[in-house]
Structure 1
Amino acid sequence: MLLNKFIKPSLFVQLCRRNIQSKAQKRPPLAFAFDIDGVIMRGPEPLPKARNALRILDGNNSLNAKIPYILLTNGGGQTEFDRAKKLSSRLDTQISPSQIIQAHTVLKDYVDAYADKTVLCLGGVGDTMRLVAESYGFHKAYTTTDVLAWNSSIWPFIHVTESDLASAKPIDFSRTPISAVFVFHDPRNWGIDVQIICDVLQSGGLLGGPWVEPRTQDVELVFCNPDLLWKSDFSRPRLGQGAFKASFQAVYSMLTGSEYPYTQFGKPTQSTYDYARRVLHDLLDRSYGPGSGTHPRMYMIGDNPESDIAGANAAGWSSVLVHTGVYDPTTGPPRHVPTHEAEDVEEAVVWAIEREREMVRQIEEEEN
C-alpha cells in the first residue's frame, strides 16, 4: 500500500492491468482427467510411471505451469476424502477430495431432490455405501444389509451374521416406501440385490406390499457405472457393474415382459463428462482466477476404449489410450479411436503438453 503513494493513478492502473494479464498468460491451455485403475494404479499399487506423470503436472514441464487434473473413475465404494487420502499416500503427492470423481460422485446433484426421502444404496461392503450417501447429504439412506436385518426371508439363501445386524440401521420397510434405488458401486451378492430391486420396483417402493404396475414416478432407478469389464490386479479383466445391470434387466424382463427405465451415470455418459468438465473449470478458476471465457483443451487419459475413449470423443475432448490396462493392442485396433495412443501415462502426459505447447507457439507466430 505504501508503494501506491508514489505511483500516479494512471500508472498504477496500468501496472495492475499488466499484472492481471501476466496471471492470465500463465493459465495453462490444457487440463487432464485420468482414469485410475489401469492408468495410475494396478490394484493397490501405482503403475511404474504414475508418480513421474503427476510430478510433471505439478510444474516440471515445458509450459512451466501447474496443470490441473482430476481422477475420473468408474470405481467407487468409499468417500472421495478416503480415496484421496489413500492415493496421496501411494503416489507421494497431495491429492484433494475435490480432484476425485468416482462413479457415484455425480449423485451429489440428486441430494436436493432426495435429501429427506428414503433411498436404497446398493453395492460396496457392509454399510459403506450408506456412509458415502450420508456424506453427500442423503439423510435416509439404507443398504441391502438393512433390508436383510428387517426381514432375512427376503433372501433365504444367506445367513445374516451378528456383525451384519450390529451395523444395520433399523427400519420397517413394509411401512416406509423407497423413493429411489441408487446402485452406487458393484454389488457383492448379485442374487440378493437383483431380488431386492425387483421387489422394490414391482411393489411401488413398499417392500412386502402387493404387486402394482411399475411406474418410474414411483421409484427412480440409477446405475452409476456402465463398465462391463474393469482391470484389477488379476491377469484378465473382471465383470463390473454393467454386467450386474444386464443380469438385473434380464431377470426383470422375464418377470414383467419389459425393461425398467433407468438413469445411467459413469463413463462414457455425457452427464459424467459434463460434471467432470465443471469440476476442472472450477479447479482452474481457483488456481488462476476466472478464465475470461477461455476454455482449456480437455485430455482424457484412459485404458478402456469403451468408456474412457468413447466418452471423451463424444464430449469433444482429446483422448489418449494407454496400454497398461484393459486395452490390449495385440488384439487389434480399438473400436473407439483415440486422438493418440501411448505406452503409459507418463508418455501420454508428455505428448499432450508438447502438443499444446506447439499449438501455442504457432498461434503466437501468427499473431506476430
Structure 2
Amino acid sequence: MNVDWFDFQLPERLIAQTPLRERTASKLLALDKQTGEVTHHTFTDLEKFINAGDVLVLNDTRVIPARLTGMKSDTGAKIELLLLKQLGEDRWEALGKPAKRLKVGTALSFGDDGEGNPLLRAFIEQEGEMGGRTVRFEYDGIFQELLDRLGEMPLPPYIKERLEERERYQTVYSKHAGSAAAPTAGLHFTDDFLRKLQDKGVKLAYVTLHVGLGTFRPMSVELVEEHEMHAEYYELDEQNARIINEANQSGARIIAVGTTSSRTLETVAARFGDKPIEACSGWTSIFIFPGYTFKLVNALLTNFHLPKSTLVMLVSALAGRDKVMRAYGEAIAKEYRFFSFGDAMFIY
C-alpha cells in the first residue's frame, strides 16, 4: 500500500494557527462510514449523533511545557530540546536542535538564577535517530516546577503563531502529565458540554496515552506496511475498564475521542482477545491502517490530519480510504480549519 495514496493538497490558509475563542465553536463534519454520506454541523451538534448508553472514551493525558531553549555551556551557542519521554532518574528521551551540535558529553544550560548560574543543567548521554538524544538533567529543587518556569508548550511545527494561553493546548479533563503533544480532538469539549452529554445518558470513560515521538516523526518509507511506530506509554484503570466492558456487552457504542484513545483501546483489546478487558498499562506501537479490523472502537471523533500521516491512515481504516479522501475534499472546499486547532470530524 503506497503512502502517496493518502496524500492531498491543502491550502496553507486552512491550517488553523490559533484556537477559537470558544472551544465548542468549531465546525463538525459527520461521515457515515457505511454509506459515505457527509453532513455539516457545528460541534455542539455532536449531541444528536450520540445516544444514551454510548461511551465517550477520552485521553486524560496532560501536555508538559516540554520545549526548552538554552545554550551549550562551553560556547554559548543556542540550542533547543523537546522532551518526549521520561526514562527515570532525571533522564529523558528528547529531540535536539541543531542535532549536529549535540554530541555525547555536551553540557547544556537553561535559565539563570540571578547570579550567573543556570537553573537547569543537562548532559547528552546518547545519540539516536533523526535528532533523538538521551539527556540527563541536574538541578536544585523540583524538576516539574523548573519545567513550568523555563519550558514552552511544544506546538507542532506548522503552527507559527505564539500561544497566548497555555491551557488552550490542554483538554479541560487533562490530568496525568507526560505528553509532548495534546490529544487535539478533545480540545473542543468544555465541562458544560460534557455535563450536557452526561445528562442525556452518555457515559464517559478515560484512558491515558502519553503522546510522544511518533507525533513529530514523518513517514520516510514509500510503502505503508514498512513504517514503524514509536512506542508510547498507556494506562487503563479498573473503573474505566468496567465502564467500557459494560457498554460493549450491552451493545452500546464505544466512541473514541481522538486517534490516541483509539490506539489505546485497540491495544488493550488485542491484549485480552475475546475476554473482557482489564486494568493494565504498558507501551504501544500499534499502527492502524486500512485492512485493520477494529475490536472495540465503533465511532471516532477526530480532527483533520496531515497528508500522508499515520493518523489519516487510522481514520481511513475505520471509514475506508475513498470515503475519507472524499470527505477531506469536501472539508477543503468548505474551508474547514485543519490540524491541531482546527475543526472536528465525527465518523459513525
TM-score (norm 1): 0.27
User: Max radius of gyration: which structure?
Assistant: 1
TM-score (norm 2): 0.28
Instruction: Judging by fraction of residues, say which structure has more helix.
Output: 1
